[in-house]
Amino acid sequence: MKILGISGYYHDSAAALVINGKVISAQEEERFTGIKHDNRFPINSIKWILKQNKLKINQIDKIVWYEDPKKKYERFKEQYFKYFPKTIGFTKKLWNWKKDNDIEKIIRTELKYKGVIEYCEHHIAHLAYSFYTSPFENTDIVSVDGVGENETAICALGLKGKYIQPLERNFFPHSLGLLYATITAFLGFKPNSGEYKVMGLAGYGSSKDLYKKQFEELAKVTVNNHIELNLKYFSFHYSDKIMFTTKMCELFGIAPRVYESELKQIHKDIAFSLQAHYERLFFQMLNYFQAHSKNENLCLSGGCAYNGLANGKITKKTKYKNVYVPPAPSDAGSAIGAALWSWMKDINHNKRVENINPYLGPSYNAVDYKNAINSTIYTIGKVERFDNYHPLIEKVAGLINDGAIIGWFQDGSEFGQRALGNRSILANPTISNIKPKVNRVIKKREGFRPFAPMVTFEDANKYFDMCGQEVPYMNQVFEVKDDFIASLPSITHIDGTARVQTVRSTFNPLIYMLLKKFEKKSGYPILLNTSFNLRGQTMVLDPITAIKTFYDCEMDYLVLGNYLISK
Ligand SMILES: [Fe+2]
């Protein structure tokens, strides 16, 4: 059974191919178009998937869309009339909704597909992606995001051989994700994409939680575990121009920050208090649910599952002992989730297949690397080709130890927002001026944002306070142990934390080998790892773009498969 899962039209469009329960290929549309968070129909992802797997579209048994368009329309219509006349600006959108959101027509027209089309509810797709790719057979599953059709968060049970059982639902406009997005907008960042910047900024805010009272006024979790926003401060439910009212400015005593204007201490303090309040509400929700389920396992999904700061504290703030967050918990991952949901329901939930591989995108071989080196418009500097990886990795470990910044390109591209060692920029985390150097000459991004470490799985707990947890997809933030804060300056955030990726030898053998070689030289099996792209660009997808990016910035070396390129 070949199932194509598709997500799109909100943010992070993606497509995924699942054959008999196994995720074979998946990629976000943004990687092909270069447009960050591209939300258009993922035609390029689908074309690549079909070509890669030598399939024609009508050999696909079923296409599953990650939302229920009818339910979404019903919610929008209800929202329109409930808040009318404030929603007058939505009139054209409502009028054209059915025409613009005829998903079946879009799929049939774009793909010339004649087969079966199914719809999976938005949060069910989130829950299914997290549950069915997790190592757990029985678990709690929690999905939190901005909004799906009508729901903004669901707490559910995932039980072996059973349907996913949603037990608690939160409804629009009461949304933890939209609280975070609104304050992200108030602080002058782009909602639905700038939240991770606000998370980074929170580390610079006063730990006195100066705006606690204001946030308590904005949002709470009720006695029956429902998120409740104080709607007089919000306008996203009746406006698509602005997410908050003037009362929000009165509450914080400042005007909204203008995009890219100076970041003041008050913005950092608000970011801190937002994160602190988000965590209070999130843990309150989790604790309430766990008290009834008594489960020790938790799968997280939805856009809020990118909140690594909160995720990293779950085992300390709740009774959950094991936490799983998949590589792409937001809507991109729902392409996989929708397809897995459909497969599991059709086979009566009996046949779980292991799906832990995050390297689901385009992969390249030695011929591709050679052609890219020969065909690029750049005059390539020195190119060394290594017959096997041992001497290459030995050399690269030495270069990194000496302070070089390396572009590292191998095998299949990652699915999800994180570089997990196949499209990465790597550097020495023990050198204090490496972080500003990476920021200044390569990433050209805001200086306050932290860089993350990758570490061998067996050594992770020596350096980071992570209670033995495994985090292969880099979605949890932990404290760097006191003894190592001074020696790991480039991956320790100002608040003493780091967003860790643990690497097993079986997970990514080349990166694991590099970490071990680097340990021999530096004493630390840890590397600074950031995504291979420049500011405002998407992660590089192919060898030619990797070479172009290498020459467009001051990166020192580029590793393309078994080639080492210097300028
Ligand atoms: Fe979502």
pLDDT of residue 139: 97
Residue pair 160/145 in contact (Cβ under 8 Å)? The answer is no
- Model confidence at 498, pLDDT cuts 50, 70, 90, reads very high
Percent of the chain whose predicted confidence (pLDDT) is above 90: 88
Mean per-residue pLDDT, 112-120 = 98
Same-fold call for 2-66+68-119+331-344 versus 366-566: no
C-alpha 104/C-alpha 289 separation (Å) is: 37
CB atoms within 10 A of CB 391: 13
- Model confidence at 349, pLDDT cuts 50, 70, 90, reads confident
In a 13 Å sphere around the CA of 330, the CA atoms on its Cβ side amount to 24
For ligand 1, the distance from its centroid to the CA atom of residue 196, given in whole angstroms, is 16
Cα distances from 41 to residues 7, 228, 525, 566, in angstroms, run 8, 33, 41, 38
C-alpha 552/C-alpha 567 separation (Å) is: 11
pLDDT of residue 312: 94
Superfamily of domain 171-324: ATPase, nucleotide binding domain (3.30.420.40)
For ligand 1, the distance from its centroid to the CA atom of residue 74, given in whole angstroms, is 17
For ligand 1, the distance from its centroid to the CA atom of residue 303, given in whole angstroms, is 6
For ligand 1, the distance from its centroid to the CA atom of residue 11, given in whole angstroms, is 9
Cα distances from 142 to residues 201, 221, 324, 478, 552, in angstroms, run 26, 15, 11, 21, 42
For ligand 1, the distance from its centroid to the CA atom of residue 145, given in whole angstroms, is 5
- Does residue 376 surpass a pLDDT of 80? no
- Does residue 441 surpass a pLDDT of 80? no
Nearest CA-CA partner of 335 in 84, 128, 545, 86? 128
For ligand 1, the distance from its centroid to the CA atom of residue 552, given in whole angstroms, is 35
For ligand 1, the distance from its centroid to the CA atom of residue 486, given in whole angstroms, is 39
63 strand-pairing partners: 4, 117
Nearest CA-CA partner of 336 in 49, 13, 15, 2? 15
C-alpha 131/C-alpha 174 separation (Å) is: 25
Mean per-residue pLDDT, 422-449 = 87
The structural domains of the chain, with segments of one domain joined by +, span: 2-66+68-119+331-344, 171-324, 366-566
Task: Label the pairing between strands 151-158 and 139-144.
Answer: antiparallel
C-alpha 122/C-alpha 485 separation (Å) is: 41
pLDDT of residue 446: 75
For ligand 1, the distance from its centroid to the CA atom of residue 178, given in whole angstroms, is 11
Dihedral angle of Cα 398, 402, 408, 414, to the nearest 10 degrees: 100
For ligand 1, the distance from its centroid to the CA atom of residue 433, given in whole angstroms, is 38
For ligand 1, the distance from its centroid to the CA atom of residue 10, given in whole angstroms, is 9
Nearest CA-CA partner of 453 in 412, 505, 413, 511? 511
Nearest CA-CA partner of 72 in 20, 134, 10, 16? 10
For ligand 1, the distance from its centroid to the CA atom of residue 235, given in whole angstroms, is 20
For ligand 1, the distance from its centroid to the CA atom of residue 435, given in whole angstroms, is 32
C-alpha 557/C-alpha 424 separation (Å) is: 12
At 493 the three-state DSSP class reads coil
Chain position carrying tokens 């709470």: 220
For ligand 1, the distance from its centroid to the CA atom of residue 82, given in whole angstroms, is 23
For ligand 1, the distance from its centroid to the CA atom of residue 530, given in whole angstroms, is 25
For ligand 1, the distance from its centroid to the CA atom of residue 335, given in whole angstroms, is 11
C-alpha 214/C-alpha 139 separation (Å) is: 35
Q: Is the pTM of this model over 0.85?
A: yes
- pLDDT by residue (tens digit) across 237-268? 999 899 999 999 999 999 999 998 999 999 99
Mean per-residue pLDDT, 104-131 = 97
C-alpha 414/C-alpha 531 separation (Å) is: 10
- pLDDT by residue (tens digit) across 377-419? 777 789 999 999 999 999 999 999 999 999 999 999 999 999 9
- Model confidence at 460, pLDDT cuts 50, 70, 90, reads very high
C-alpha 304/C-alpha 331 separation (Å) is: 11
Mean per-residue pLDDT, 17-21 = 96
| Average pLDDT over the chain, rounded to an integer | 95
139-144: strand order across its sheet:
165-171, 151-158, 139-144, 297-301, 322-324
pLDDT of residue 216: 98
pLDDT of residue 130: 97
For ligand 1, the distance from its centroid to the CA atom of residue 333, given in whole angstroms, is 9
For ligand 1, the distance from its centroid to the CA atom of residue 334, given in whole angstroms, is 8
Nearest CA-CA partner of 539 in 369, 407, 399, 447? 407
- Model confidence at 193, pLDDT cuts 50, 70, 90, reads confident
For ligand 1, the distance from its centroid to the CA atom of residue 123, given in whole angstroms, is 7
Mean per-residue pLDDT, 291-314 = 96
- Does residue 436 surpass a pLDDT of 90? no
Q: Which of 85-94, 274-283, 509-518 has the lowest mean pLDDT?
A: 85-94
- Model confidence at 176, pLDDT cuts 50, 70, 90, reads very high
For ligand 1, the distance from its centroid to the CA atom of residue 242, given in whole angstroms, is 20
Chain position carrying tokens 């306008």: 235
Give the CATH class of 366-566. alpha beta
- Model confidence at 549, pLDDT cuts 50, 70, 90, reads very high
pLDDT of residue 354: 93
For ligand 1, the distance from its centroid to the CA atom of residue 122, given in whole angstroms, is 6
E strands, 399-518, in order: 406-409, 423-427, 452-456, 464-465, 477-480, 497-499, 501-503
C-alpha 511/C-alpha 454 separation (Å) is: 9
For ligand 1, the distance from its centroid to the CA atom of residue 538, given in whole angstroms, is 20
CB atoms within 10 A of CB 105: 11
Q: Which fold has domain 2-66+68-119+331-344?
A: Nucleotidyltransferase; domain 5 (3.30.420)
For ligand 1, the distance from its centroid to the CA atom of residue 132, given in whole angstroms, is 17
pLDDT of residue 224: 84
For ligand 1, the distance from its centroid to the CA atom of residue 444, given in whole angstroms, is 29
pLDDT of residue 68: 96
